[in-house]
Structure 1
């Protein structure tokens, strides 16, 4: 893919160079006060292109910046809400005793010793 990008830009540069060499003429521009500026046609076209491109790029970057900030704010809000609405699971540090206690083990029942006997 990188090769195709390089090929595209090289082709575009070649076309621009051929256009520049084929149209290397001076164009008179009438300025205020009777001044006349002679400018090469490729330079004039490049300046005209930049006059159209720069404001559009500034507008595009401003829109992207604003949308990126809105998205970041929405993601922070969503993360905060998930933290608040998440169920709290308490993990006990010590195991709780069972609710029903098992009956105690039966103690030895003392038996009566008959008098005088062993």
Structure 2
């Protein structure tokens, strides 16, 4: 599975580098209007602008994803700890078991005459 992920990222990086290389033309981007009808702007290559805004759009969704995973991992660990504490014995004191005392009878048991005769 790791090799498929690596191949995916290599292909995606190659496509991104090719896109930025083909769109290296500088263009002005107007940011904010200032006095006199002019704009505060910067000039960057189109590919870099596209990359920056793609990352700016992907960042919130990535943060939501990471927060969801963090919340679910905390919930899983909490449930695992609950199961571990309820299934484990609470007391660590040694358990003492007493064997029952042997039964001593004062009446003699009559001998069997045949193997199928029941005892009285």
**TM-score, with structure 2 as normaliser:** 0.65
Q: Which residue of 1 aligns with 2:101?
A: 97
Q: What are the equivalent positions in structure 2 for 1:1-118 lying under 5 Å apart?
A: 1-32=1-32, 33=34, 34-83=39-88, 92=97, 95-98=99-102, 100-103=103-106
Poorly superposed stretches of 4+, deviation over 6 Å: none
Larger RCO, structures 1/2 (Cα 8 Å, 6+ apart): 2
Structure-1 separation of matches of 2:75 and 2:2: 32
The size of the alignment, in residue pairs, is 99
Structure-1 separation of matches of 2:7 and 2:75: 37
Unaligned residue ranges in structure 1 (runs of 5+): 106-118
Higher strand share: 2
Unaligned residue ranges in structure 2 (runs of 5+): 109-120
RMSD across aligned C-alpha pairs, in angstroms? 2.7
Structure with greater Cα Rg:
1
